[in-house]
């Protein structure tokens, strides 16, 4: 994932690892996985965290850190 993906919703169709490297502060992207797909995140807080189908995750770059937030069902 790179700066060109800023502001985008990334829809992942196959099991994948998304690697977030050095991004411009203020970068943000959301990620949603298709049914039965697992997404693994690299280069973010919560290293190695995964999401499952239709769980929304966001990554925001702040002060050189890529912060991962995963929405959870209540």
- Assess contact for 17 and 37: CB atoms under 8 A: no
Considering Cα of 59, then 63, then 65, then 71, what sign does the dihedral take? negative
User: Which residues 6+ apart lie within 8 Å of 5 measured at CB?
Assistant: 29
* Residue 72 pLDDT class (50, 70, 90 cuts): low
SS3 20: coil
**pLDDT one-digit tens code per residue, 13-58:** 999 999 999 999 999 999 998 888 989 999 999 866 888 777 889 9
Q: How many CA atoms lie within 13 A of 46 on its CB side?
A: 13
Predicted structure pTM score: 0.85
Which two tokens mark 73? Answer: 């069902």
């Amino acid at each position: 994932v790179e700066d060109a993906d800023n502001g985008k919703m990334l829809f992942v169709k196959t099991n994948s690892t998304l690697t977030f490297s050095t991004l411009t502060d203020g970068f943000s992207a959301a990620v949603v996985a298709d049914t039965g797909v697992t997404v693994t995140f690299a280069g973010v807080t919560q290293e190695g965290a995964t999401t499952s189908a239709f769980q929304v995750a966001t990554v925001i770059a702040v002060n050189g850190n890529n912060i991962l937030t995963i929405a959870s069902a209540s």
